[in-house]
Chain A
């Protein structure tokens, strides 16, 4: 698993990258009550706002961590936003991306580096 400074996790699944938010991010957000997902089959650029998460406290965005195509979204989150708090690194993945070059993932933090960031 790789991590971004924006507290997303990235997991390689075959030729796709699965994206979600970290447990740290979920607990900082508090109880999530609303999730808005991107349209599948959308081309996005790194830094694009692709998802909206609203907790009881506030709204925040998920940014595209990479250039690529969103090929799948986790529609379950729309009806059950609380999944983001219950299982942020498992059932509550947000979207899957197809990217040209998997080697770009090397630039992201590994688990130890991310643990340092949030400590």
Chain B
């Protein structure tokens, strides 16, 4: 017995041999019979299909004009919303008054409305947060009758284009709507593995048909949450609730690339988002600590929570995500350390089972990304 929600394709996952585990209130496939390592490597070599229907899909439909909505949405994030062209998607971050991160998300300008995808564990809070801040200018629609898939890897384009020919012309972070036999699908050329690929929102009625059609395509394998996590870690991408949360700012997290010039000091629409004082100050002066890539020496993984030290014994921070990188062929980790020790090449120590083991600060990502820009 479980009170976890089931994905629309629960039975398909079981029939594929998926091992189901509770995650963010859902029964989710953590792996299939191939196992995490094989699924990870397959995604990088061919294509992987991920069911990410647990994530929150939201439509923001303006009551008056898109400009009003974009202005109001900008007031929630240190991100340029007004400057995002129709047909394009961007990474965003809801911040709080202390500059902490409430959630990270993807949003897209779909011409006459915005679409948003948020993390599963935050979606109820995010919808309420958007309702509170955008309710006056937009209809906030939580979409619960669509599945969401990610198709990732070098064969993703060929596999999806065989069913939806229009997607081949898309570039990284483009979005589009396509009529298919599975219903109207909302596609973005994006993902969270570091690979080229797509995220596809499909009406629940057509979800199984689309999943089966993709899985029948040469090179496409179902991939579970386990490999999703190792893929995103190798790509240096943050997992909300682990690498970022309300206690970390976008600047500490090294997400300054997500803060466009126009929202920074001297920009046309500088500030005006929650936590602007702290975030703009950290942009100007540098934060006290930073998220860094970490390469443990040897083979012992340094998992989340591993304490990090200067070789002289001074505590510096801790690992927020860590494990084995199948494509790297070695343990990898990310964590926060004092800014004084965040330069790549810095030698640190991590405490594993009572022993201090050497670990080096390295640039992110661990594995080169292959986005189709």
Contact = CB atoms under 8 A, between A and B. Distances in A.
B18 to A, nearest CB: 14
Contact of B31 (A30, A34, A59): A30
B23 to A, nearest CB: 13
A105 interface: no
A65 interface: no
Given A54-B324, A56-B36, A33 B353 contact: no
> Chain A: interface residue count, which band?
10 to 19
A59 B303 CA distance: 9
Contacts of B300: 34, 36, 54
Given A52-B353, A54-B324, A56-B326, A33 B299 contact: yes
Nearest to B326: A56
B301 to A, nearest CB: 5
A67 interface: no
Contacts, number: 42
Nearest to A78: B299
B28 to A, nearest CB: 14
A30 B36 CA distance: 7
Contacts of B226: 30, 56-57
B324 A33 contact: yes
A57 B301 CA distance: 10
Interface string B29-50: 0110001111010000000000
A51 to B, nearest CB: 12
B223 to A, nearest CB: 13
Interface in B114-162: none
Given A56-B323, A56-B326, A57-B226, A31 B299 contact: no
A81 interface: yes
A34 B36 contact: no
B297 to A, nearest CB: 12
B31 A33 contact: no
Given A59-B301, A59-B303, A34 B331 contact: yes
Contact of A57 (B36, B299, B331, B353): B36
A6 B181 CA distance: 51
16 contacts: A30-B35, A30-B36, A31-B38, A31-B324, A33-B301, A33-B324, A33-B331, A34-B299, A34-B301, A34-B324, A34-B331, A36-B300, A56-B37, A56-B226, A56-B230, A81-B299
Interface of A: 30-31, 33-34, 36, 52, 54, 56-59, 78, 81
